[in-house]
A = this chain, B = another copy of it.
C-alpha cells in the first residue's frame, strides 16, 4: 500500500514490526476514552483502527469524535493486559507526539463508530436520516464492506469475461424509447425542440446491434433506468451486468454465465458447485409456486386436486387444491393459526385452510370436520406429513393458489430460521412460455403491444426450435429459448436466445398486436439491421444490485448502493429531484410549439 503526503502508514499497517519506530497516521477519531488523565483514541482509516495514547492533556483536549486528524508518534507494545484481540492492531499502540487537526466535526446526527457498530446495529436511525446524511452512513463498517464487495464482484466478473474473450463496450444512454415492458425516463432534446431522448431500460437492442456489428462477445456493467411507481426495494436507476454472444445457443450462454457466477461468488468468499441445477418453469410453478423458487429448503407444494376430486368440502371443490406441510407445526397455539389467516388475507387471499396431525392418528383444525372419512384417513400420507406437523391448503385457480402456497412455504422457512443469508441455492429456471396473457391482474409490467398476449421476457426472444413454425398459431402454449438464474428466491439474472431473422421478429410482433407501422416507428432500425447478415445470438443480464445484496447479506439493495434513492425516487441528501427556474425550463425546449404554416 502506498503512503501519501499525510501519512507514513495506514492504521492497520502499524504492526509489531513497527515497534520503536515513529509513524504518522491520518484518519477519523472513531472513539475517545479517558483514564486517569490519559486519553485513548481509536484512529480509523479505510483499513481499520489503531489505538493512540495521548499523555499531553493540551494535545488531547480539543479532540472529539469524527475529527479528522494527523498523528505522529512512536509505536510501542501495549502494556500487559491491555491487548485487544478483536483488532489486528490490538497488540500495539501509538504514543502520540504531534497531532494536527485537519478538520473538525459537529456532533453527528447518529453514531458511526466502528466500536458501536460491533456492539449493536440497532442504534441506527430511520432510513431517511441515514440517506440524508449518506456520507456519514457510508463511514459505517458494514456499508464500507458492502460497497467494497461490489467492486470485488465487478473485478471478478470482468476477469472471467475477459478470460473468455468478451469485449467490454459502452452503449449510449441517450437513446430512442424502446418497448421493453416498463416506462421510460425521458430527456428533452434542447437542440431538437419537441424531441426527446429516453434513458435505456437496458442495452437490449444496442447489444443486439453490436452482434450484427460483428463483435460476437460483448459485456458491460450498464446503468439502466425504469420509471416505475413506488415499489419497495426497486431503484429508478439500477445496474446490470449485460452480456451477449453470437453463434451461441442457450447452452453456450449458461456455460459462460456459470463461469461468471462462480468467479463472483468466489470473490465474495463463497464456493458454488457447477453445473448449477435446472428446473423447468412449469415445475417451479407447480412445486414452489414461483418462477423464482427459494431452494435453500425443500418442502415442496403437494398437489391435492386429484385427491379431493370428489370431496364433500365445498372450498376444496376447486380447479386446483394444493398443500404445504409445516414440519412440527401442529402444536402452534390457536392464536398463531389465526395469525396465519391475517397473513394470508394481507396477501389478498380469503384465508388459509389448515389441519393439524397431533399424533395418535388424530386430525385437528377447522377443516378436519369437513372432510370425508376416506379423505381424513389417507391425508397424512398423501401430503407426506408426519405426526406433529400442520398442513396448509389453498384451493381455487391454479396460479393464484400455487402462488399463495409458494409464499406459505417461504414464510414457514423464515419462521423456522431456514433462510440463511450465507447459504446460496442457485438454480436455472428454463423452458419458459414465449408469451403470457395481458389479463393477469398480478402482473404490473406494461404490455408491449395491444393484443391479449405480451412477451414473457421481451419481444426479441426466440421461440424454441419446436415452435418456430407454429408459435403464432398457438401462442398460449408456445415455448421460448429463455432462462433465468435464481438465487434464494430472487431472480438475479435472465436471458434468452434472440430472434435474428426479420421474418420471425415480424410474426412475434404480430402476436403482440404491434402493427407494421408501429414496429417501423419504434424499432425499424433493428428490423433494418437484420437485413444485412445478422448472426444467431443469445445473451443474459444479471441484476447486479440484487446479486450484491444477496452476497453481502444486506437487507435491501439500498445498502449496496452508495447513493440510492428513497422509495419515491427522491434523494434526501441533495433534495433531488428539484424544481428548476423558468429560464432553465425554457432552455429544455419542452414548451416549444412548432410554427403553423
Contact = CB atoms under 8 A, between A and B. Distances in A.
A366 interface: no
A392 interface: no
Contacts of A189: 569, 577
Give how many copies assemble into the complex.
2
Nearest to A590: B590
A579 B196 contact: yes
- In the complex, the 3 A-B pairs of residues with the closest C-beta atoms, listed nearest first: A138-B213, A189-B577, A5-B249
A569 B2 CA distance: 43
* Size bin of chain A's contact surface: 35 or more
B5 A214 contact: no
A74 interface: no
B578 A195 contact: yes
26 contacts: A4-B245, A5-B247, A5-B248, A45-B247, A46-B217, A68-B534, A103-B500, A108-B532, A135-B212, A136-B212, A136-B213, A151-B167, A151-B168, A158-B158, A170-B239, A173-B223, A174-B185, A174-B237, A175-B576, A176-B574, A176-B577, A177-B578, A192-B569, A196-B577, A210-B562, A213-B562
Contacts of A307: none
Residue picked from A214, A236, A252, A564, most chain B C-beta under 10 Å: A214
B248 A192 contact: no
Contact of A174 (B138, B144, B209, B565): B565
Interface in A524-581: 525, 529-536, 561-565, 568-571, 573-580
Contact of A188 (B134, B173, B186): B186
B154 A214 contact: no
A102 interface: yes
Interface string A185-213: 11111111011111100000010011011
Contact of A571 (B154, B176, B530): B176
Interface of A: 1-2, 4-7, 26-28, 44-46, 66-68, 70, 102-106, 108, 133-139, 144, 147-148, 150-151, 154-155, 158, 162, 164-165, 167-177, 183-192, 194-199, 206, 209-210, 212-217, 223, 225, 227, 229-230, 236-237, 239, 245, 247-249, 251-252, 256, 500-501, 525, 529-536, 561-565, 568-571, 573-580, 584, 587-588, 590
B103 A249 contact: no
Given A5-B248, A151-B169, A247-B6, A138 B68 contact: no
A266 B457 CA distance: 42
A177 B135 contact: no
B186 A167 contact: no
Contact of A210 (B138, B172, B216): B138
A190 B177 CA distance: 16
A73 B287 CA distance: 47
A135 B136 CA distance: 46
A571 B186 contact: no
A555 B239 CA distance: 32
Nearest to A497: B5
Contact of A175 (B28, B151, B574, B579): B574
Given A103-B500, A188-B186, A529-B135, A175 B45 contact: no
A140 to B, nearest CB: 9
A148 B170 CA distance: 11
Contacts of A195: 577-579
Contacts of A169: 147, 150-151, 562
Contacts of A569: 174, 189, 191-192
Contact of A209 (B28, B135, B147): B135
A563 B579 CA distance: 32
A525 B575 contact: yes
Residue picked from A137, A249, A568, A573, most chain B C-beta under 10 Å: A573
A448 to B, nearest CB: 14
A164 B150 CA distance: 17
B4 A533 contact: no
B186 A588 contact: yes
Contacts of A588: 186
Contacts of A561: 170
Given A186-B588, A525-B575, A569-B192, A67 B6 contact: no
A291 to B, nearest CB: 25
Contact of A191 (B67, B151, B229, B573): B229
Contacts of A173: 173, 223, 237
Contact of A102 (B147, B171, B536): B536
A108 B530 CA distance: 12
Given A135-B209, A170-B561, A248-B5, A105 B574 contact: no
Nearest to A236: B174
A252 B170 contact: no
B187 A199 contact: yes
